[in-house]
Each structure stands twice: as structure tokens, then as C-alpha cells.
Structure 1
Amino acid sequence: MIQSMTGYGKAVLQLPSKKVTIEIKSLNSKNLDLNVRIPSYYKEKELAVRKKLAKTLVRGKVDFSIFVEMTADETSTTINHGVVKEYMQQLRNVVQTGNSSDVELLKMAVKMPDALKTEREELDESEWAEIKKAIDIATKEIVQYRTDEAASLEIDFRQRVANIKTYLKEVKALDGDRIENVKTRLQKAIDDLKVETDENRFEQELIYYLEKLDINEEKVRLANHLDYFLETLDSPDSNGKKLGFIIQEMGREINTTGSKANYAPMQKAVIQMKNELEQIKEQILNVL
């Protein structure tokens, strides 16, 4: 079962003193490009979070964020009273008038360095255990999103492969007419020259020429690649890179068939196959 690399997952956790929101977003990328944004007091857990995301999401441009909103009346930021008083006194000395307002001086003082102090919050392991559960929920959500997104892609892939198989049948049906057309054109070219030819030598040259235009191997290989593509879609793992390699091989066989076709009706069928394959190529870039 394939997965898309596009996804979104979110979980909201209400703790006694704060609201924690976890968000995971992903887009397509050749490899895993992981960007983690978390508060400083959770930094020691960042490596574990990265390992978990890498194991679960595998590939894609992934943005992981933890947002914390304080909901309790308490705050970790307090006014440094001694520093603020000293600033105000120095400001009075600078003004040197009795008209200075303490309110105005206070507004200036609290903007000075070290007027406010923030106590570093230590990591609470029991709190992190709850956050870890929320991360698991958000991760499951993004995996489900990727799976749902890929379901529509898979339907499109199967339809386009079926279309290519239909055009391949058309190519096979036209092959007999193509050979006769080539023989007729060569015979006409000889007749137009109005020269005598050795029939045996002409047949030998014709056989050699037709061998160069033979597309039986291309038809067999393309049919095998189409079946292998569907088998890979049915596999339990999502392997976008493998599907991409199969598509490359399919493209080679279709291109070779087109270069050997030398027959307008067959070339039209080849163009249709190329069109279907290009549509698959565009979408396969988003498969995990």
C-alpha cells in the first residue's frame, strides 16, 4: 500500500498550567528533510523526537512544532525590583528636576537590561510523558492523512496503467499492417528507380531491415514492466523510489517502440502511451 508524502497531523494537550499544541506537516522531498521547533526546556528530548519521526515518516520535507500557551495565573517572568529601583534613581539624577514622574521613569526603567528576569523552567518527566502521547496521536494522524491521500493516487495510477496496456494492444494489432506497409514502401521505392533487382538479394536486405524495426522485445518488456508496477503497488510497503525506477524502464521501452515504429497509426498510439506515463511520473514524485 502506497503513501503520499503530503500530510498533516495535530494534537492538543491541556495540562494544569499550559496548553500544548503539536503540529506535523510534510511535503514531498527526495530524502527526509526534518525541521523541529520546540521550546528550550524540551530540547533534551529533541533527538528522541527526531528518531521517532524519521522511523515513522521515512521521507519528505517535515516540519514538526510544539507550541506552548501558558494558561495558569503564575508566570515564570518577574520584575527584578532592585535593578528597576536603581535604574529609576539613576534616571532621576540625570533629569535633576523635581517634576519627573515616577510612572514615566518606571516605563523607561523596565525597558532597561535585566529589569525583568525569567526563571528557567525545568523539564517535568511526567509532563513530557503526556506530551509524548500527544506526539504519537499527531504522528498517527499524519500517517492516516498520507494513506488517504495516496488512495486517490493509486486509483489514478491503476487507470493510467490500464490505458497504457490498451494502447499496447493497439500497437500489437498494428504491427502486422506496419510490416506490410514497410514492405510496400520499399518495393515502390525500388520500382520507382526502374532498375532490375535480384529478388533473393532484395528479400535478404528486406529481412535485415525489418529485423532492425522489430519491436517484439520492447512489447514484451513493456508488458512485464506494467505488471511489475502493479505488483509493487500491491506490496505492503510504500516504495516510491522503486516505482520511479520501473517508470524509467517503461519510458525506455515506449521511446524505443516509437523510434522503430515508422508507421503513423502506431506512432499515435505511442504518443498516447507517453502522455499517460508522463502523468504517472508527475504524481509518483509525491509517493513515499
Structure 2
Amino acid sequence: MLKSMTGYGRASQSNASHTVSIEIRTVNHRYLDITFHSPRQLLYLEEAMKRAIKSTLQRGMVTVQLTLSGEPLIRNEVRVNWQLLDQYVESFKQIAERYHIPADYHINDVVQLGDVFEVSSVYQASSALDDFVLSVLEQALYNIQDMRLQEGRHLHEDLGKRLKELEQSVRDIRHHAPQVVEEYRKRLNQRMTEFLANSGPVDQARLLNEVAFFSDKANIDEELTRLSSHIQQFYSFLNEDGPVGRKMDFLIQEMNREINTIGSKANDIHIARQVVEVKSHLEKIREQVQNIE
């Protein structure tokens, strides 16, 4: 089943201590490109989240927005630099003895010695929270996959319709192609008759050689066969599981190559019009394929 690369999925859950909300947005991209916007204290989880996303999504530009509320994950701790404080106290004593002043000091005097105290932030790691966040991510991924599949069904329907239009144009070219040589023979015969009006009858052998040369030069059977084969292969991709966007894009390039060759070889106004139609169909299909995973 086709999957669109455009989608949105959201999930939010709460437990006794936290609420986790995750939003995932995806748009078309040649490869899988993942960007996270998450709290600093959960940056370590991004690798695990990336693995979970890669197991579900194969292509697209993915933006993940994670918000966390509830109990703080970071606890501040104060440590005393006892070695430095001992040096301060010893220095106070030496000053008092040297200048014969009272060595009385209060706790407030110690507090003002800022470099004696070291404040550090300690992250309170929790495997339960990690599992909780990943479970919310799994639900968001499920939701975005559901949307991408719905969009994929619309793409499947649209592409099927456009392929039928493309097939009809190719059948029209195939039906008209034999007439090109016959019309060329008639035109050439008429021109040669007019040119040789005063010189006798048309040399039929020479006429047949010219027509045979033109027929070989203007023959588009191989291109039409390959083009039809590409269309059938494209149909098979519509029902194939897994990412097929790149395969489809490659087929469109090949079909464009064949129709360009047909346009350059078939010296006929009717076929030229159909070539324009085929190119128009292929361009519309290519635009849709750009959004297929």
C-alpha cells in the first residue's frame, strides 16, 4: 500500500508524576531526515527515539516536538568546599593574631564566601520515564502512519486514473503509427510525380527504397513496447508493500526518455500532439510521486 510522506501525528499521556506530549510532522524529502525539539534534560533519549522512528518511517523530513511537564527532573545540590573553607578560617586566625583583633566571625560571614559553595544540577535518571516517553512516541508514530496511509490511498486512486489516461495516449500513438509510413509514401509519390511530370513515370524501386528508409528511421515499435512495459511495472508498484517512491521516480524518467525519442522519430502532427499529452500526464504523475514514501 502506498504511503504519503506528508503526515501529522500527536500523542499525549500522563502518569503519576509527568505528562508527555509528542507531535510528529513529516513532509516529502529524498531521504529520512529527523529533527528533534525536546527538553534539554531528555536529549539523551534522542538516539533511542531516532531508532524507533527509523523502524517505522523510511523517507521524509521528520520534525519531532516533545514537551514534558510535572515533577522536575533536575535537582540542585550544594556542596561545601571544606578544604578552601579551612584555609579561610586559618587565614582569619592569622589575621587576628597578627593585628591583635578579635577573631570572632559569624555564619553570615562564611555564607558570603561564594567560592566556598558549589551548586550543581543532578539529573534524576529514571528508566520508567524513558519507557514512558518511548511509549508516547510509539502512539504518535501509529497516528502519523495512519494519516500517511490515508493520504496514500488518495494517491493510489489518483495515480491509477492518470495511468489509464497515459495508456490511452500510448494506444492512440500505437494505432496511428502504421499510417505515418503510408502517408509519407503518398506524399513522396506525389512530390516525385510532380517533379518528374515531364520526364516519365515515377521510378517505383527508388520510391520503395525511400519509403523503406523512412519506415526504418521512423519506427517507434521498440519505444512503444518499452513504454508500455514501464506503465505495467508502475501499476505493480502501486500495490507493492514498502517504499516505492524512488522506483516510481526512476520509471518516470525512463518513460520520459522513451516518449522524447518517439517525438523525435515520428514525423507526424497527430503523434506529436499525443506526445505532448503523454508528457503532460507524466509531469502530473511525477508531481504526485514526489510525495510517495
Place the TM-score, normalised by the shorter chain, in its bin: 0.7 to 0.9
Asked whether 1:209 is paired with 2:214, we answer yes
Q: Aligned to 2:158, which of 150, 156, 159?
A: 156
Residue 75 of structure 1 deviates from its aligned partner by 9.3
**1:146 corresponding residue in structure 2:** 148
Q: TM-score, normalised by structure 1?
A: 0.80
Residue 275 of structure 1 deviates from its aligned partner by 0.8
Residue 176 of structure 1 deviates from its aligned partner by 2.9
Residue 25 of structure 1 deviates from its aligned partner by 0.9
Q: Alignment length, in residue pairs?
A: 255
- For residues 1-288 of structure 1, the aligned pairs below 5 Å read 1-70=1-70, 119-194=121-196, 197-288=202-293
Is the Cα contact below 8 Å between 2:163 and 2:231 reproduced in 1? yes
Kindly provide the amino acid, as one letter, of the partner of residue 240 in structure 2: S
Residue 261 of structure 1 deviates from its aligned partner by 2.1
Is the Cα contact below 8 Å between 2:184 and 2:211 reproduced in 1? no
| Alignment CA distance shift 1:27-1:118 (3 Å) | farther
Residue 76 of structure 1 deviates from its aligned partner by 5.9
Counterparts of 1:54 and 1:238 in 2: how far apart (Å)?
13
Quick check: which has more Rg, 1 or 2? 2
Residue 119 of structure 1 deviates from its aligned partner by 4.0
Counterparts of 1:261 and 1:14 in 2: how far apart (Å)?
68
Residue 157 of structure 1 deviates from its aligned partner by 0.7
Q: TM-score, normalised by structure 2?
A: 0.79
Is the Cα contact below 8 Å between 1:36 and 1:50 reproduced in 2? no
Residue 18 of structure 1 deviates from its aligned partner by 2.9
1:54-105 Cα offsets, whole Å, 9 max, x none, are 23211111111211133x6x79688x9xxxxxxxxxxxxxxxxxxxxxxxxx
3-state secondary structure, aligned to 1:176: helix
| Alignment CA distance shift 1:176-1:123 (3 Å) | same
Residue 237 of structure 1 deviates from its aligned partner by 1.9
Counterparts of 2:65 and 2:125 in 1: how far apart (Å)?
17
3-state secondary structure, aligned to 2:242: coil
Residue 170 of structure 1 deviates from its aligned partner by 1.3
Counterparts of 1:64 and 1:253 in 2: how far apart (Å)?
42
Counterparts of 2:127 and 2:181 in 1: how far apart (Å)?
77
Which stretch shifts more, 192-201 or 249-258? 192-201
Kindly provide the amino acid, as one letter, of the partner of residue 264 in structure 2: S
Counterparts of 2:32 and 2:261 in 1: how far apart (Å)?
35
Kindly provide the amino acid, as one letter, of the partner of residue 194 in structure 2: D
Residue 177 of structure 1 deviates from its aligned partner by 2.5
Aligned-residue Cα RMSD (Å) equals 2.7
Counterparts of 2:120 and 2:7 in 1: how far apart (Å)?
37
Kindly provide the amino acid, as one letter, of the partner of residue 168 in structure 2: T
Residue 132 of structure 1 deviates from its aligned partner by 1.3
Kindly provide the amino acid, as one letter, of the partner of residue 131 in structure 2: A
Counterparts of 2:10 and 2:219 in 1: how far apart (Å)?
57
Counterparts of 2:266 and 2:213 in 1: how far apart (Å)?
16
3-state secondary structure, aligned to 2:55: helix
Q: Any gaps of 5 or more consecutive residues in structure 1?
A: 81-116
Is the Cα contact below 8 Å between 1:41 and 1:122 reproduced in 2? no
1:115-155 Cα offsets, whole Å, 9 max, x none, are xx784432211122122111110111111111111111111
Counterparts of 1:167 and 1:17 in 2: how far apart (Å)?
64
Kindly provide the amino acid, as one letter, of the partner of residue 10 in structure 2: K
Counterparts of 2:242 and 2:59 in 1: how far apart (Å)?
13
